[in-house]
A and B are shown apart, each in its own frame.
Chain A
Amino acid sequence: MPAPEITFTVSGNKVSDVSGFDHISVSFYSDLAYTQCEVRATRIQDAYGRGVGRLVAAFSATPAATSRTFEVYDTDLVNGEGEYRISIYAEGQDGGWNDNHGFIPFGIPVYDEDEQVVGYEPDGGLITSDGQEFLCMR
């Protein structure tokens, strides 16, 4: 089963410490139900991942296609001026996360006559969180 795929909209791409400009709002939903979700802020050049960086927001189990909203304030960006990566991590019901550091069991792909994936058979293998088929691990 693939990991949750998050779709989001943001109200802006820049904040300051001036009232009225000190936060943005983010709305998102997942195509699959998730058991937990966390939002992290890290400097763009720094390491990122679940549990890394400033925790901006966290959500408990949420059904698929349910909209959630959170704000990112300037006070969440604690490492000075510049660009930050705001990451939304969600854990699917099978325990797979949508981040770049895990591999998600998905099954054997079933292709149609145009070689498009139309479904999966169980116990087939792994995909990365980017949705690409995982081929090997060293």
Chain B
Amino acid sequence: MAAYFQLILDTTAPTGGSISLPASTNTVNITATLSASGASYMKLYGDICASPGGAAIAEADASWVAYDTSASIILTSTDGTKTVYAKFKDDVGNESAAVSASTVLDTSAPVVTIVGPDVSTISKVAGYNVSAFSFSASEAFVEWTVRVVPSADSAHTAGTEIPTTGGSTNMHGDTATAASTAINCTIYGADLETASGGDGAKIVKVFVKDANGNWSV
């Protein structure tokens, strides 16, 4: 009986390799999206590290892992443009050329500067019931909130946003605003009371969020 088997010669590397990253991020932990036809393995290197704060992984130090269409990666920690490279390999060692993608790591929070208020004590009596101030930020921002917070170091999720039902203005916004552009605000006594309740000193804090999701502190 004839004895034979079939054997495939394959010297073609995986094709159509690609990697994509978010355009920007405020965290080092991101997901890379990958694609390659005929790939069994892949390796990633560049401005990524094995654990937060670690050193960048050079190609020679990158390990081949099973091919997947997504990969959780950790960017090196300094802010700036990060480039990540990917190579793909099939089951008989054919290796593709490297492809790359970049993202901007921005973990720095905007810094808010407040001018005012024009009066520091208000009531609900007409003529004495409004305080005005303005604020600007060190970088462009896409959202802001004005809140009564429990302490000076509270974060943007703490306390209560001052409502505008009593006539206050610009207590919240989501208009893209350039750096150093002043936003004028007014707080009426009735709204301040709604947000905080009771007489006494209130800590009013303005928070802005940049395009990468970093809130001021």
Q: A residues within 8 Å of B by Cβ?
A: 3, 5-8, 10, 13-21, 24, 26, 28, 41, 44, 48, 72, 74, 77, 80-90, 98-100, 129-131
Contacts and interface: CB of A to CB of B under 8 A. Distances in A.
A95 to B, nearest CB: 17
Contacts of A10: 5, 7
Interface in B90-126: 90-95
A84 B6 contact: yes
B90 to A, nearest CB: 8
A75 to B, nearest CB: 10
B116 to A, nearest CB: 70
A77 B7 contact: yes
Contacts of B199: none
A87 B11 CA distance: 22
Main secondary structure of the interface of B (DSSP, over half): loop
Contact of A18 (B1, B6, B93): B93
B9 A80 contact: yes
A74 to B, nearest CB: 6
A90 B1 CA distance: 10
A16 B1 contact: no
Contact of A16 (B2, B4, B93): B93
A138 to B, nearest CB: 21
Contacts of B2: 87, 89, 98-100, 129-130
Given A99-B2, A130-B1, A130-B2, A20 B9 contact: no
Interface residues of B, number: 18
B15 to A, nearest CB: 13
B1 to A, nearest CB: 5
B105 to A, nearest CB: 36
A77 B6 CA distance: 12
Contacts of B152: none
A131 B91 contact: no
B3 A16 contact: no
Interface string B1-40: 1111111111110000000000000000000000000000
A84 B1 contact: no
Contacts of B1: 3, 5-6, 98, 129-131
